[in-house]
Amino acid sequence: MAFIPKQQNKMQLLLIVAFVFIFACTVEKNASETQQAQNDSTIVFKHFKLANARHAFQQAILQFEKQNPGVKVKEEILPSNSNIQHQFYVTSLESGSADFDVFLIDVIWAPEFSLAGWLEDLSALIPEEERIQFFSAPLRADMYQGKLYAVPWYIDAGVLYYRKDLLQKYGFSPPVSFDDLVHQAQTILNGEQNPTLNGFLWQGKQYEGLICTANEVISGFGGKILDENGRVRLTDNAVRSALNWLKDCIYTHRISPRWVLSADEESTRLSFLNGNAVFLRNWPYCWTFFQREESKVRGMVGTAPMPALPGINGKSTLGGWQLAVNRFSQKKELAKRFVRFMASPEVQLQFAIQVGTKPTRKPLYEDPRLIKEQPFIVQLFPILKNTVPRPVTPLYPQISQILQIEFSAILSNIRAVEPALESAQIQIEHVLEIEKLAFDKKSK
């Protein structure tokens, strides 16, 4: 009977030896893979699908790889929809994913992502003496608590498009003030007697575009949503006047059709392109469409800064995209080197000429090559240097949702201006208190 236990002991011993061998091999394999990952010189660059930029991206990556022998850059392309991109990054970074190293972020995401601990501090990447080359607004939007968490790659800004032929016909120069715009639009509408012609188109749908439009008008009235000290200023007279002016454009001045309350960038662009508006607030991307052969306004379009009250310079809402480094990346130094390369004057100029992106470095607007190849971009310089960011705070998405609801209710005549703004003020103050608590907790 003693024979069976001996056999069992032998079997157990063999199983233990086998397990130890397998475990040792696994550890060795994992260590090898870890070492290989650390030695791997491939970085992953996540970015959205930018129109007409395929060749420019490939060319820039080849240049970087040539300057950095042995280094490879792998592109992974996301959809153009910024909401989809935002959700992807939030989901990935919340889990501490290191699947990508460098990525493009919207100008309004930097504070949110930095407070969450997802972005590498890039303050040392752009020295103070070099920052003067950049437009100030995107740099300000990329900073949080005194640190730079992203590098401005290209800038965008709201533009007032106008029909040059119609303004010339009635003896007008481009409007500078809100009263100018209303007067010119009403005069032309009365003179043309064209039922399909609208005076002023803008984005009034309940979405982010509405906040961009309202932000410009509020600035033009001398107001702010948040001041430099982070205080909510929605109940100021300037903000009330701005919302009342937008509302009056629809119901009192009758220069904006009711359908602007459901309008986005594309619906307003198409209407203007078909010759159905005197003025349009939109982004610079529209220019290319207006100059195409099939455009009914080809050769008839001019651009101007956003209007404002007399004595105030009209400001455009800041847009654009920034280069950031994933804090969980295993190749941060390579990633920073790539960001530095992509944000360089040479690469920004290359993309501006080939793709039409607007450089964030101011000296490039005096470059003869850009002046020759992209005169429209150079023409935008006065607008681009006078931009105003949306509230720079990690909790901007929550603030934007509050503003969208209350602003839309005002413009749709669902709520009066004063109680809607008071409600938004209280809600946003509560949100900012949460941000303060979150930052205090992170600092401890």
Query: Residues 75-99: pLDDT tens digits?
Result: 999 998 898 999 999 999 999 999 9
Beta bridge partner(s), residue 200: 279
Please tell me the predicted confidence (pLDDT) of residue 441.
65
pTM of the model: 0.86
The tokens for 26 are 């696994």
Q: What is the mean pLDDT of residues 241-260?
A: 98
Q: Which amino acid is at 372?
A: K
Q: E strands, 56-197, where?
A: 72-78, 102-106, 143-144, 147-148, 151-157, 159-163
Gap between the Cα atoms of 117 and 119, Å rounded: 6
Q: Order of strands, edge to edge, in the sheet holding 277-282? A: 198-201, 277-282, 159-163, 301-304
Confidence at 38, pLDDT banded by 50, 70, 90: very low
Give the mean model confidence (pLDDT) for residues 367-371: 98
Model confidence at 68, in pLDDT bands (50, 70, 90)?
Answer: very high
The mean pLDDT of the chain is 91
The CATH class of the 43-156+319-388 domain is alpha beta
Q: In whole angstroms, what is the distance from residue 160 CA to residue 284 CA? A: 9
State the fold for domain 157-317+391-443.
D-Maltodextrin-Binding Protein; domain 2 (3.40.190)
Q: Are both 43-156+319-388 and 157-317+391-443 of the same fold? A: yes
For residues 224-244, average pLDDT: 96
> Domain coordinates of the chain in residue numbers?
43-156+319-388, 157-317+391-443
pLDDT of residue 437: 75
